[in-house]
Amino acid sequence: MTATQWISRVIRPLAIVAGIGPAIWLGLKFLRDDLGANPAEYLEHFTGTAALVILLLSLTITPLRRLSGINTLIRLRKPIGLWSFAYACLHFSCYLVFDQSLDLSEILHDIAKRPYITVGFSAWLLLLSLALTSFAGAIRTLGGKRWNALHRLVYVAAAGGVIHYLWSVKRDVSVPSALGGVLIVLLAARIERRPRKAMPMQGVGVPE
Ligand code: HEM
């Protein structure tokens, strides 16, 4: 099998299925009553971390594709990105149910008044818009240029996720700082190195 066939026939189906792994692990821990003293907090933290880590994983695809020259790798970006959105939705649901008991006016007040919640909610809205436009029909409707511009917002969503995490922790900022470092490296890897224009050499005959 060629690398392209491996990615299409083995790695992509694996990426589609593997995203359920963390949820199964969490489910088993729940069944074993092993979610610690505060299960609601555990679920909220686990799903938030899963959403952010999987989002960063989806951002490794473009640099990997550039480094390897294997264009089919791009086919992994959508399933990984959608899994990140799925965990972000679970995380948001934990907040809605456990923290706010589905009280709509409390939720709206909290989103407006607490900056780290505002940032998390904005990141979730961005992920929602990317998920809704991740299908072939949306690319046709928006046109390639606009679709690409919209999907570059994934970096804004990831930065929002990191800031939201940094803002939510009270003492030890080592994990969110490390994830922020990973995001900076991934952003730097995205910057295209354009070949410099050849400068005509002065005083030397430049061939036409
Ligand atoms: C819908 C909007 C969101 C709300 C209302 C929300 C709310 C929360 C809350 C209440 C916490 C717990 C803070 C604490 O215990 O003090 C939290 C933590 C966290 N959230 Fe969000 N969040 C949202 C969106 C997101 C998104 C989109 C991401 C990732 C892309 C994310 C990633 C995280 C992470 C990584 C943590 C920290 C987990 C930990 O401490 O282990 N959140 N969020």
Task: For residues 65 and 56, give the distance between their C-alpha atoms in angstroms, rounded to a whole number.
Answer: 15
pLDDT of 196 higher than 80:
no
Give residue 130's domain range: 3-190
Distance 109 CA to ligand 1 centre (A): 17
Mutate to test the pocket of ligand 1, among 165, 173, 179 (most ligand atoms within 8 A of CB): 165
197: in domain? no
* Total domains present in the chain: 1
Task: For residues 127 and 157, give the distance between their C-alpha atoms in angstroms, rounded to a whole number.
Answer: 7
Q: Is the CB of 121 under 6 A from ligand 1?
A: yes
pLDDT of 193 higher than 70:
no
pLDDT of 166 higher than 90:
yes
Predicted confidence band at 70 (pLDDT cuts at 50, 70, 90)?
very high
Q: Hey, how many other C-beta atoms are within 10 angstroms of the C-beta on 133? A: 16
Both tokens of 23, joined, read 């949820």
pLDDT of 199 higher than 70:
no
Tell me how far CA of residue 80 lies from CA of 14, 19, 86, 95, in angstroms: 10, 7, 10, 23
7: in domain? yes
Q: Is the CB of 92 under 6 A from ligand 1?
A: yes
205: in domain? no
Predicted confidence band at 203 (pLDDT cuts at 50, 70, 90)?
very low
146: in domain? yes
Record the pTM: 0.91
Report the Cα 57 to chain-centroid distance in Å: 7
198: in domain? no
pLDDT of 16 higher than 70:
yes
121: in domain? yes
Cβ neighbours for 200, distance < 8 A, ≥ 6 positions apart: 206
Q: Is the CB of 168 under 6 A from ligand 1?
A: yes
154: in domain? yes
At residue 208, the pLDDT reads 27
200: in domain? no
Predicted confidence band at 170 (pLDDT cuts at 50, 70, 90)?
confident
Task: For residues 111 and 172, give the distance between their C-alpha atoms in angstroms, rounded to a whole number.
Answer: 24
Predicted confidence band at 192 (pLDDT cuts at 50, 70, 90)?
low
Element of type H or E holding 115: helix 115-132
